[in-house]
């Protein structure tokens, strides 16, 4: 798999240094633990969403990106998304406080292939990528503002021997995961993995060129405060 950067749980009284951080950052005089902060010294902001998610990089590290929710202390790090590759990460999406990202398989073609993964990260609580939800064999993932998600999953038996870029070969299946759990709602070789979309509770995709639809579970309305 693509290397997922991580950092130990940092206690306020004893901030730990992560020895796995890229050597490019070691040249900085800033303590390495500080580079995981949302307000990392010298950060270069690349994008800010309407929900307050800030995406940034560090001046001396061109390969890593960071995302954090405004007001939070720590940022989640991930490989710089790259399209048109069989390794690394791509298809970065933000919706509300949630982030989804596609991780391509590595070692494919060498007899040690690990298939693709989709990750769903709640930036309100996560401090590292691996605190998110991992979905194996996923070639496309889309979420809504409630953290519910739809997945295009490779549906072939046996080990997954393809990186996920391109997403084929099929067949594929469509899974959804919400407050009712995870379940399959469609499957077949005619599913177009690039067509999956989530808008609120509505999930749409193409099967044999025709659009199909499903609804994610409705979240109960919280009682009105008195």
Looking at residue 1, its pLDDT comes to 40
Peptide bond before 166: cis, by omega within 30 degrees of 0?
Answer: yes
- Residue 201's beta-bridge partner residues? none
pLDDT tens, residue by residue, 110-132: 666 677 899 999 999 998 888 99
Looking at residue 143, its pLDDT comes to 97
10 to 34, 132, 222: CA distances (angstroms)? 11, 18, 34
Looking at residue 167, its pLDDT comes to 81
pLDDT tens, residue by residue, 126-157: 988 889 999 999 999 999 999 999 999 999 77
Q: Is the pTM of this model over 0.85?
A: no
Query: What is the SS3 assignment for 4?
Result: coil
CA 112 centroid distance within chain: 23
CA dihedral angle for residue 38, residue 39, residue 40, residue 43, rounded to 10 degrees? 100
Query: What is the SS3 assignment for 156?
Result: coil
Calpha distance 67→93 (Å, rounded): 11
Contact predicate 159/182, CB 8 Å: no
Looking at residue 6, its pLDDT comes to 35
Beta-carbon contacts of 163 under 8 Å, excluding residues fewer than 6 positions away, are 86, 87, 104, 105, 106, 108, 113, 115, 116
Looking at residue 123, its pLDDT comes to 96
Please list the pLDDT of the chain residue by residue as tens digits (226 residues): 433 333 333 222 222 223 333 333 333 455 666 668 898 889 999 999 999 999 999 998 889 999 999 999 999 999 888 766 656 688 999 999 999 998 887 666 666 667 789 999 999 999 888 899 999 999 999 999 999 999 999 997 766 666 677 787 789 999 999 999 999 999 999 999 999 999 999 999 999 999 999 999 998 877 766 6
Calpha distance 225→222 (Å, rounded): 9
- Residue 206's beta-bridge partner residues? 192, 211
- Residue 181's beta-bridge partner residues? 178
């Amino acid at each position: 798999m693509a290397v997922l950067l991580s950092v130990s749980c940092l206690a306020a009284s004893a901030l730990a240094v992560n020895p796995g951080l890229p050597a490019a950052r070691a040249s900085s005089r800033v303590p390495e633990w500080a580079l995981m902060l949302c307000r990392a010294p010298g950060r270069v902001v690349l994008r800010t969403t309407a929900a307050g998610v800030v995406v940034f990089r560090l001046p001396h590290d061109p390969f890593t990106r960071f995302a954090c929710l405004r007001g939070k202390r720590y940022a989640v790090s991930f490989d710089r998304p790259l399209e048109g590759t069989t390794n690394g990460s791509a298809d970065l999406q933000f919706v509300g406080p949630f982030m989804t990202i596609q991780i391509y398989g590595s070692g494919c073609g060498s007899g040690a292939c690990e298939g693709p993964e989709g990750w769903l990260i709640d930036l309100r609580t996560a401090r590292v990528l691996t605190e998110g939800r991992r979905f194996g064999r996923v070639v496309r993932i889309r979420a809504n503002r409630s953290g519910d998600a739809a997945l295009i999953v490779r549906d072939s038996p046996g080990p997954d021997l393809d990186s996920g870029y391109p997403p084929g070969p099929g067949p594929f299946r469509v899974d959804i995961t919400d407050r009712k759990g995870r379940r399959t709602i469609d499957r077949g070789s005619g599913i177009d993995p690039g067509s999956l979309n989530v808008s609120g509770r509505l999930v749409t995709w193409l099967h044999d060129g025709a659009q199909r639809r499903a609804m994610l579970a409705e979240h109960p309305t919280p009682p009105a405060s008195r």
